[in-house]
Chain A
Amino acid sequence: MDGLLVAHGLNISFEIVVLALVSLGLAITLGLLGVLNLAHGEFVMIGAFSAFFVQSQGWPYLAAFPVAILACGAIGWPVEKFLIRPLYARPFDAILATWGLSLLLREMVEFFFGRGFNSVAQPIKGTVNILGADYPAFQIVVMLAAIALIATIVFWFLRSVTGRRIQAMVDNPDLAKAVGIPVDALARNTFVAGLCLAGISGVLLAPIVAVHPSMGIDYVLKSFFVLVVGGLGHILGLVIGSGVIGGAEATVSAIIDRTSGYSFVLILSLLFLWRRPNGLVAR
């Protein structure tokens, strides 16, 4: 019985951590740049296909990270320049544009890799016994890597010179320009970094889930729920939002079933949109 509780606890933690990781990139583009990037999930998908590509070439799994960053960067840079930048002040148009982009990216990947499911082998096989619960070793690694990545980025954002300049740009764009911050370039780099982060989470998730061109849809919706609940004001909102959404879904799923867990999250998000549209941690 103890082992069962530990197993459910690990499942819930995994769900929360993965959700936070995938949402972080979306939080960057939405929270910092005001662009609701509906193609965010497609960059997770591109990351996952990077892992598949690397495996099919016979390269080691770790090579997928630079490949994913290169791919997301190479796509993200022109996308920011020609599609997103003209629409920074027009959020609704940006939503439409990124929706179109998501279709385009799916078609593109479909053209190269086909529409079918692909499998990426787990680089670390087997299970480890944690307090009486057998848990996949690779998922432990993913959890630790995700926590390390999130912590690094949050620390960097709060402490580095560039992180402070990004905060300054978001806080007061006119003043940021006046003090000499190259706002256009910084916004582009920030946007591309958010996309690369999505790609990295795709690489981490690829060995666990079905890799196919439409997989991105699975992620963008729940990430959006996280930001609805957590709010865009602070990095803390992301952590709390992931905890609430991932935790609530996993807990209700564990106690009742998946359908109830999914419905619960949907209702929770709608309640937030209705009663508390700025989320738990408002700006």
Chain B
Amino acid sequence: MNTQLKRREVLAGMAGGAALLSSPAVLRAAGNEAIKMGTFFSLTGPASLFGPTQTACTALAVDQINAMGGILGKQVEIVAGDGGLSPAEAAQAAIRMTLQDKVDFIVGSHNSAVRQSIIAAIKGRVPYVYTPLYEGGECAPNTYVTADTPQQQVKPALNALNEMYGTQKVYLIGNDYVWPQKLNERAKEYIAAFGGEIVGEEYAPLGPGNKFDDAVTRIRAAAPDLVFISLVGGDNVNFNRSFAGFGLDSSIRRLSVLLEELTLFGIGAENSDGLFSSMSYFTAVESPENDAFKSQYAAKFGADGPPLSMLGADAYSGTHCAAALLNAAGSNDASAVMSASNGLSYTTATGTAVMTNRHVNKDIYLAECNGVAFDIVKSFKGVAHGETCSV
């Protein structure tokens, strides 16, 4: 595998060298050209709610990187792509981005199906940093994951709720696609590990918004201690509103794994009793680094800027990670970046993170909803990501 990769890289390098030699214009321009960063954020589609904060946080990171001298001595320029496209369209956009726009690296925040098609399209030609929480297991060459993994996001939270409230019987509900299904596989392992029991599992289709009255009725009948929710966006809002509307919020706790400030605002203060979220970023995290990040964000975008949330903070950290990777490797050459990645430390919204096996060990927070705000109830320091990608 590795030797094959190397051979391909060498061949690509030779082809690239030949191209450079045969076109001196490119060579001349290279000296003062900007370095191009391709982005895939959710500009359209069901996750487009998160697009503005992703774009804004990335712009903030690029400002900071440029002020510090840029990447490889060049100023960073953004080539914006849409991560809300279908996987096939995203693949085409990624090919255009690498061959036509000639981006030097890509940062993406989108669903896993789009991630897989982008990886297949760019074939490791440029470094690709993937930032939002995901189901784990991505080890494609020249791909770097700053996202929360299940071992980070799910395991400590399930254990903590079990310790604090004795939540043994768990009901799983998620949307019907790869992330919730794989995440639930892992969740079942963690639940089995503390002797818990799965009393129900169901999936709702992605697409037009669902009503969850029937699911809530089934949950009431199954009488779990905890509902583990991997619904996204509008479905997450609708489910939690139904759940509280039927009065289950007073007796059954909920842990949602994609619940940040924007979604919680839709769920509403009166429906968030006993609702928990577990992630590596909340605006409520109290640390000097987060305070600095928030004030810089406010200074750049003012009070009317896109509301800050986890998916934006992730894109911010991912952009810093990409800059650190290229600067440490001295180029965007795949093997150089791959070997520079191990042990690399870079700036995040809440401090500094270290990359190993092309994933990131990080601090994780368990937050309980208090109206439409999060109260951090537990912090888990330096949680291992549990992934085993080669470098």
Residues of A within 8 A of B (CB): 4, 7-8, 11, 14-15, 115-122, 125-127, 134-136, 138-139, 208-212, 214-215, 217-218, 221-222, 250, 253-254, 257-259, 262-263
Q: Please, how many angstroms separate the alpha-carbon atoms of A212 and B242 in the complex?
A: 17
Summed over the interface, the residue pairs from A and B with CB atoms below 8 Å come to a total of 119
Q: Please, how many angstroms separate the alpha-carbon atoms of A126 and B266 in the complex?
A: 19
Q: Please, how many angstroms separate the alpha-carbon atoms of A211 and B209 in the complex?
A: 11
The 10 lowest CB-CB distance pairs between A and B, nearest first, are A117-B266, A119-B268, A210-B237, A218-B209, A258-B204, A136-B245, A11-B213, A127-B247, A210-B234, A7-B217
25 A-B interface contacts by CB (under 8 A): A4-B221, A14-B213, A15-B211, A115-B51, A117-B233, A118-B266, A119-B237, A119-B271, A121-B269, A121-B270, A122-B270, A127-B245, A127-B246, A136-B245, A136-B247, A208-B241, A210-B233, A210-B237, A212-B266, A214-B234, A250-B214, A257-B204, A258-B210, A259-B205, A262-B207
Q: Which one of B202, B207, B211, B233 has the highest number of Cβ atoms from chain A below 10 Å of its Cβ?
A: B211
Q: Please, how many angstroms separate the alpha-carbon atoms of A258 and B210 in the complex?
A: 8
Instruction: Please state if A118 and B215 are interface contacts (CB–CB under 8 Å).
Output: no
A-side contacts of B234, CB under 8 Å: 117, 209-210, 212, 214-215, 218
Q: Please, how many angstroms separate the alpha-carbon atoms of A11 and B214 in the complex?
A: 6
Is B117 part of the contact surface with A, judged by Cβ < 8 Å?
Answer: no
Q: Please, how many angstroms separate the alpha-carbon atoms of A135 and B220 in the complex?
A: 11
Instruction: Please state if A222 and B208 are interface contacts (CB–CB under 8 Å).
Output: yes
Known contacts A11-B217, A117-B234: A139-B266 contact under CB 8 Å? no
Instruction: Please state if B208 and A217 are interface contacts (CB–CB under 8 Å).
Output: yes
| CB of A211 to closest CB in B, whole Å | 7
Instruction: Report B216-248 residues with CB < 8 Å from chain A CB.
Output: 217-218, 220-221, 233-234, 237-238, 241-242, 245-247
For this complex, into which size category does the number of interface residues on chain B fall? 35 or more
Instruction: Report B261-275 residues with CB < 8 Å from chain A CB.
Output: 262-263, 265-271
Q: Please, how many angstroms separate the alpha-carbon atoms of A11 and B265 in the complex?
A: 26
Instruction: Please state if B217 and A8 are interface contacts (CB–CB under 8 Å).
Output: yes
Q: Please, how many angstroms separate the alpha-carbon atoms of A222 and B233 in the complex?
A: 20
Q: Please, how many angstroms separate the alpha-carbon atoms of A217 and B213 in the complex?
A: 20
Q: Please, how many angstroms separate the alpha-carbon atoms of A222 and B247 in the complex?
A: 28
A-side contacts of B209, CB under 8 Å: 209-210, 215, 217-218
Known contacts A209-B238, A211-B266: A138-B208 contact under CB 8 Å? no
Q: Please, how many angstroms separate the alpha-carbon atoms of A138 and B245 in the complex?
A: 9
A-side contacts of B265, CB under 8 Å: 116-119
Nearest chain A residue, comparing its CB with the CB of B309:
A116
Is B52 part of the contact surface with A, judged by Cβ < 8 Å?
Answer: yes
Instruction: Report B189-210 residues with CB < 8 Å from chain A CB.
Output: 202-205, 207-210
- In the complex, besides A4-B221, A218-B234, A258-B210, 14 extra interface pairs with C-beta distance below 8 angstroms are A11-B217, A15-B211, A117-B234, A117-B237, A117-B266, A118-B266, A125-B270, A134-B246, A208-B241, A209-B238, A212-B266, A258-B214, A258-B215, A259-B203
| CB of B224 to closest CB in A, whole Å | 15
Q: Please, how many angstroms separate the alpha-carbon atoms of A117 and B233 in the complex?
A: 9
B-side contacts of A263, CB under 8 Å: 205
Is B72 part of the contact surface with A, judged by Cβ < 8 Å?
Answer: no
Instruction: Please state if B205 and A116 are interface contacts (CB–CB under 8 Å).
Output: no
Q: Please, how many angstroms separate the alpha-carbon atoms of A222 and B205 in the complex?
A: 14
A-side contacts of B351, CB under 8 Å: none
| CB of B42 to closest CB in A, whole Å | 11
| CB of A136 to closest CB in B, whole Å | 4
| CB of A205 to closest CB in B, whole Å | 10
A-side contacts of B52, CB under 8 Å: 115
B-side contacts of A125, CB under 8 Å: 270
Instruction: Please state if A259 and B208 are interface contacts (CB–CB under 8 Å).
Output: no
| CB of A38 to closest CB in B, whole Å | 14
B-side contacts of A257, CB under 8 Å: 202-204
B-side contacts of A4, CB under 8 Å: 217, 221
Nearest chain A residue, comparing its CB with the CB of B48:
A115
Known contacts A119-B271, A212-B266: A253-B205 contact under CB 8 Å? no
A-side contacts of B217, CB under 8 Å: 4, 7-8, 11, 254
B-side contacts of A14, CB under 8 Å: 213
Nearest chain B residue, comparing its CB with the CB of A117:
B266
Q: Please, how many angstroms separate the alpha-carbon atoms of A97 and B48 in the complex?
A: 24
Instruction: Please state if A119 and B246 are interface contacts (CB–CB under 8 Å).
Output: no
